[in-house]
Amino acid sequence: MTRILILGGTSEAVALAEALHADCPELEVITSLAGVTRNPVTGPGTLRTGGFGGADGLADYLLAESVDGLIDATHPFASSMAAHGESAATKIGIPRIKLVRPMWQRETGDHWIEVDDARSAAEVSKNLNPACVLITLGRRDLEPFLALTGLRLVARMIEEPENPLPPHATLLQARGPFSVADEHALMEEHAVDLLVTKAAGGNATQAKITAARERAIPVVMLRRPAMPQGPAASSVKEVMDWIADQR
Ligand SMILES: NC(=O)c1ccc[n+]([C@@H]2O[C@H](COP(=O)([O-])OP(=O)(O)OC[C@H]3O[C@@H](n4cnc5c(N)ncnc54)[C@H](OP(=O)(O)O)[C@@H]3O)[C@@H](O)[C@H]2O)c1
């Protein structure tokens, strides 16, 4: 393996690029971003931005750039890109692994209500009759919540939504990691009594789950989409070991 493509957009992708730069300087590393975040955090190596044009476009890119190893380090909810990565690597016959952050563990005191999508999350939220909902789903999953009435919304996201939010919604543009103290302060300030989140997992955004538990606030949680078949790792170290095995 001499040239690796990391499908990025996560802190894990940055950490992996840093680890490869430090421990495998002879490997050429390209990181690919979708281009949806204006000021992305990036690691060492070459950066490319923008979609490939589906699985076939990615396969063409991998061949054209002589990439001989693919690491899918996209977010657990980036299911299209993950499927394209698996399909393209299989098509051209190069090794591929999915790096996916571990899911949060349910603890005593957690009150999680798991749902499949944002529309169901909005319905469940309405039935819980909250005064103020903290929504951390990202801008694309906000819409079903905007129609809810008789409550306040606090929507936290990295990028601004396309359309202005209605008067009962407060926009918070912020990028994690957040501390448990930060999350308590935010929930206290807005009198949040319901949290809506994706089952993203990982440490960077775990504080909101801890704060919700400590405040006895229920959490409506979007389940992760299914992962494509093939090898998977839950840490940068495991990916480094997998790379060593391939070489
Ligand atoms: N979904 C989330 O909650 C979430 C949260 C944090 C970060 N992210 C990051 O944001 C990016 C987009 O997420 P998404 O949910 O929109 O993904 P997605 O639905 O799986 O992908 C949609 C399309 O965006 C392009 N794309 C996605 N990731 C790419 C990458 N790393 N490099 C090049 N093109 C990429 C691909 O376009 P083509 O088909 O044209 O190749 C893909 O078909 C991902 O890189 C992901 O890691 C997502």
- Domains of the chain are 3-102+226-246 (3.40.50.720), 112-222 (3.40.50.720)
pLDDT in tens, the chain (247 residues): 999 999 999 999 999 999 999 999 999 999 999 999 889 999 999 999 999 999 999 999 999 999 999 999 999 999 999 999 999 999 999 999 999 999 999 999 999 999 999 999 999 999 999 999 999 999 999 999 999 999 999 999 999 998 999 999 999 999 999 999 999 999 999 999 999 999 999 988 999 999 999 999 999 999 999 999 999 999 999 999 999 999 8
Stated pTM of the model: 0.95
Tell me, using a 6 A CB cutoff, whether residue 225 lines ligand 1: no
CA of 86 to the centre of ligand 1 (A): 14
List, as one string, the DSSP characters of 177-233.
---HHHHHHHHHHTT--EEEEE---SSTTTHHHHHHHHTT--EEEEPPPPPPSS-EE
Closest-CA residue, ligand 1 atom 28, reads: 34
**Total count of residues recorded for the chain:** 247
Tell me, using a 6 A CB cutoff, whether residue 202 lines ligand 1: no
Mutate to test the pocket of ligand 1, among 80, 87, 117, 140 (most ligand atoms within 8 A of CB): 80
Nearest atom within ligand 1 for CA of residue 54 = 39
Tell me, using a 6 A CB cutoff, whether residue 146 lines ligand 1: no
Contacts 24+ apart (CB under 8 A), 200-205: 200/75, 200/76, 200/77, 200/101, 201/76, 201/100, 201/101, 201/102, 201/103, 201/104, 202/11, 202/12, 202/101, 202/102, 203/177, 204/11, 204/176, 204/177, 204/178, 205/136, 205/176, 205/177, 205/178
